[in-house]
Amino acid sequence: MFNAVRRGPASIVKSASSPYPTRYLSFILPPPLTSKASRILPLLSTCNFSTFHVTRQRAAEAAITEDEIDHQVTAHDATRHGPVTRFIELQERGMVCPTVVKTLVEDMRLETMTHVQSLTINETLKGGDVLAQARTGTGKTLAFLIPVLQNIINYDPKLEQRGYRPKRASPEDIRAIIISPTRELAEQIGVEASKLTRNTGVIVQTAVGGTQKSAGLRAIKNQGCHILVGTPGRLNDILSDPYSEVRAPNLSAFVLDEADRLLDQGFAPAIEAIQKLLPARTEVDRQTLLFSATVPREVVQIARRIAKADVHYLRTVQEGEQQTHERVPQKVAVIRGLENQAPALVELCTREMARKDGVPFKAIIYLNATADVSLIASTLRNLKNPGESIYHKHPLHPARIIHIHARLTQRERTFAAETFRRADSAIMVSTDVTARGMDFPNVSHIIQIGLPQDRDTYIHRLGRTGRGDKTGEGWLILTDLEAREGHNRLHNLPLNEDKSLEVASVDMTQDAQLPEDVAKTLTQTIDASRMVPLDEKSASYHASLGIMRWAPARYMIQSLNNRAKYCWGMESPPKISSGLIGKLGLSRVPGVVRNEDRGSRFDGGRGGLSRDGGGQGSSFRGRGGGGGFSRDSGQRGGSFQGFSRDGGNREDSFRSGGARRDSFSQGDDRGGSFRRGGPSSDRNTYERSDPARRYDRTERSGGSGRNRPASRSFVDSY
């Protein structure tokens, strides 16, 4: 705290000539002084918002050591007035100009500061470097935007006037750079900054990947730019491009939102490169601000390198305290196998949609891979009530089903995010592109399927609900083994097992008599899954091979194969290329279907244009049965490649389709049945070919003892 005063940016000193009347300053006059401080008092009476920095300058003239000043000012600040808790006080105490406070109070209708705002704004206005940690959805964006804006106005007070434009806009006007890890978040911060600066002359520009670089550069050149918000890649690109003419020689603030993510291995090189393009801090002093809901210990160390060594680490969550909100209950549904995943999701969504508490169902479903997002979104879209056609009302009406991931075009991503933002009721299936920082209003449910990569990812995803003073709930759908692994990854979180999902525990590999609604959910989901194109299923299967590498290989393959067969309706699991089998160490794992055909479009989850016939009664059939994996020309003859147990040389057990059929039938009024074997003519019957009964009997899950960390390359990258 003391050092913050000492390190006010050089630019702030310039504000000594600010036009604000001293009435804004009366509240920051110091308490009765000690003999040393009394030498400073006369100087304070003429200062403005940046009193402390001016004090520093003048005190130097008065030959008083900086430490002494720090102590005086800090003691005064903390004891006499206490922390600022209302936005209006920022004006009353002369900390923030009236125009900005008016915008906050009248336009944005904000009155009371959140804890993190109260804690950090005061400190940040003084110019010190800050690393701030506060729970998700507690207003960190404004916590850094307000002081950044005020310091810009301090530098050039004319910018407080709306519409003020210098004679000529210059890219050199850039005073603050704000970086976020995702495009959507950068755009969101840009919008928030534009709202805040609306009544001032400060100009905000956004630079994110996936948009036209030239258009962005033109906007910066023609309109000017004081605050530049962007993603690491695009910022690096434009700052390093000699033709862009975008430089920031007067930069006074460098902000990393979601700092821990930006400082991890993925982004650190880009951040470092950007820093090298900025003026040396020895020549132009600048303030570094790092904000996040999660700050691992290593990040504190890195922060000390990227910021000044005496960076202030301000936390609203103390060590050992819960990082998630108490008002957001967190439930874990443990499912019997991966094949129960989609049915459990459908049951949960259907049930919560029907809740009569007046809160519209607005959910984000998080998955670990792009391919899983496509697959689950397609499955949800394909849902229909048994016996009804796709032209009937969708079972999840009125919720719109949206999906978003990094492989969409930027236009599609923005459209998806905006559609979800505006919707009253919607389901957005997403990778972690929306996990951090996104402020979608009124999200009622966060549903995470599969184990999140780590605890922090879980916390950020969950943080999309329960924002501000809102409530919400979190669900985590895990298999038994994932739940056990979850004990390590998700330690110290208030997760409670919830057994209310009926399909969660159904053994989908066996015949069973089931209550009607359970059978209905299964039928619906399996029908919908079968209609998903094969290439999406194959891509999801391959992605899971990477994501589940922490699990014993036998268990992993068995689980994935069961999902492919009993939920997706595939007669044979997708094939894996020899190269990938070798890379993942699966050559001796039972159940792996090796793809010997290098040219196959099913290899690696790409291609495979064949679509399951869809609708009731349709089924995949093996080659011998005609149809099915028609693109796979590698298999000659009429049989599926078997579930090899010895590296794929021996083919066994999988005969081509049509040998027998199973059904998940909805049954009659007395309840539904989940039957295997025997064709069914029932309109509500789900038929599934089961060419190899030995599939689930011959393979037992077992462990090869592998325990490798999940490979990032399989996980969606931002």
Query: Least separation, in Å, of the C-beta of 501 and ligand ATP?
Result: 28
Amino acid at 448: Q
Rule CB under 6 A: say whether 137 interacts with ligand ATP.
yes
As measured in angstroms, the least distance from the Cβ of 439 to ligand ATP is 4
Q: Which of 293, 284, 276 is nearest to 251 (CA)?
A: 284
CB of 395 to ligand ATP, least distance (A): 31
Residue 142 found at the interface with ligand ATP (CB under 6 A)? yes
Residue closer to ligand ATP, measured from CB, 134 or 551: 134
Residue 455 makes contact with ligand ATP by CB under 6 A: no
H or E element: which one contains 99? helix 98-102
Residue placing its CB nearer to ligand ATP in the complex, 117 or 199: 117
Closest distance between ligand ATP and the C-beta of residue 99, in Å? 18
Which of 103, 136 has the CB closer to ligand ATP? 136
**Residue 185 tokens, joined:** 């978040």
- Residue 139 interacts with ligand ATP (CB under 6 A): yes or no: yes
Nearer CB in complex with ligand ATP: 230/437: 437
How many Å apart are CA 238 and CA 512, to the nearest integer?
A: 62
> What is the length of the chain?
718
Q: Which of 488, 491, 458, 526 is nearest to 684 (CA)?
A: 526
**Is the distance from CB of 590 to CB of 652 less than 8 angstroms?**
no
Site for ligand ATP in 286-305 (CB under 6 A): 293
Closest CA to 179 of 112, 278, 48, 301: 278
| Nearest residue to 414 via CA among 136, 623, 185, 656 | 185
50, 72, 141, 330: which one binds ligand ATP (CB under 6 A): 141
- Alpha-carbon distances of 112 from 89, 97, 104, 115, rounded to whole Å: 10, 17, 10, 9
Q: Which of 122, 136, 316, 330 binds ligand ATP (CB under 6 A)?
A: 136
Does 444 help bind ligand ATP (rule: CB under 6 A)?
Answer: no
Cβ within 8 Å of residue 332, ≥6 positions away: 475, 476, 477, 478, 483, 486, 495, 496, 497, 498
- Measured from the CB atom, is 458 or 714 closer to ligand ATP? 458
> What is the rounded CA–CA span in Å between residue 334 and residue 481?
9
12: exposed, middle or buried (Cβ count in 10 Å: 0-12, 13-18, 19+): buried
Nearer to ligand ATP, 142 or 369 (CB): 142
Torsion of the alpha carbons at 159, 162, 167 and 168, rounded to the nearest 10: 80
Q: Which segment (140-148, 306-314, 573-581, 665-673) binds ligand ATP by CB under 6 A?
A: 140-148
Query: If binding is defined by CB under 6 A, does position 471 make contact with ligand ATP?
Result: no
User: Does the footprint of ligand ATP cover residue 376 (CB under 6 A)?
Assistant: no
Closest contact distance (angstroms) between CB of 123 and ligand ATP is: 17
Measured distance CA(561)–CA(526) in Å, rounded: 15
Q: Which amino acid is at 67?
A: D
Query: Residues 293, 462: contact at Cβ < 8 Å?
Result: no
Q: How far is the CB of 330 from ligand ATP (least distance, A)?
A: 16
**467 counts as binding ligand ATP under rule CB under 6 A:** yes
The label of the residue with tokens 């089961």 reads: 690
Q: Give the x/- contact pattern for ligand ATP in 96-135, rule: CB under 6 A.
A: --------------x-xxx--x----------------x-
Q: How many residues bind ligand ATP (CB under 6 A)?
A: 19
Least distance in Å: CB of 209 to ligand ATP? 20
Q: Is the CB of 439 or the CB of 682 nearer to ligand ATP?
A: 439
Residue 183 within binding range of ligand ATP, rule CB under 6 A = no
For ligand ATP, the binding residues in 206-245 under the rule CB under 6 A are none
C-beta atoms surrounding 529 within 10 Å: 28
Choose between 140 and 621: whose C-beta lies nearer to ligand ATP.
140
Q: How far is CA 371 from the centre of its chain?
A: 16
| Residue 102 CB, nearest approach to ligand ATP (Å) | 15
* Interface with ligand ATP (CB under 6 A), residue from 31, 468, 515, 599: 468
Residues 6+ apart with CB under 8 A from 487: none
Give the residue with the Cβ less far from ligand ATP, 229 or 539.
Answer: 229
Closer of 150 and 521 to ligand ATP (Cβ): 150
CB of 528 to ligand ATP, least distance (A): 32
Shortest gap between Cβ of 292 and ligand ATP (angstroms)? 7
- Residue 437 within binding range of ligand ATP, rule CB under 6 A: yes
- Comparing CB distances to ligand ATP, the nearer of 294 and 656 is 294
Query: Rule CB under 6 A: is residue 463 a binding residue for ligand ATP?
Result: yes
Q: Is 667 exposed, middle or buried (0-12, 13-18, 19+ CB in 10 A)?
A: buried
With CB atoms as reference, the residue minimizing the distance to ligand ATP is: 139
The two three-digit tokens of residue 356, written as one number: 């009569």
Asked if 656 contacts 625 with a C-beta cutoff of 8 angstroms, the reply is yes
Work out how close the CB of 408 gets to ligand ATP at its nearest, in angstroms, rounded to a whole number.
Answer: 22
Least separation, in Å, of the C-beta of 301 and ligand ATP? Answer: 21
Q: Is 140 in the site for ligand ATP (CB under 6 A)?
A: yes
Taking the complex as a whole, how short is the minimal distance between the CB of residue 236 and ligand ATP, in angstroms?
22
195 or 645: whose CB is closer to ligand ATP?
195
Q: Which is nearer to ligand ATP, 325 or 563 (CB)?
A: 325
Nearer to ligand ATP, 323 or 689 (CB): 323
Q: Is 669 left (phi over 0), alpha (psi -120 to 50) or beta?
A: alpha
Output the smallest distance, CB 117 to ligand ATP, in A: 6
Angle (nearest 5°) at CA 70 between 64 and 74: 145
502/510 Cα distance (integer angstroms): 16
Phi, psi at residue 448, to the nearest 5°?
A: -105, 125
Contacts of residue 611, Cβ cutoff 8 Å, sequence gap at least 6: 531, 533, 534
Residue number, 293 or 371, with CB nearest to ligand ATP? 293
Per CB under 6 A, residues contacting ligand ATP are 110, 112-114, 117, 134, 136-142, 293, 437, 439, 463, 467-468
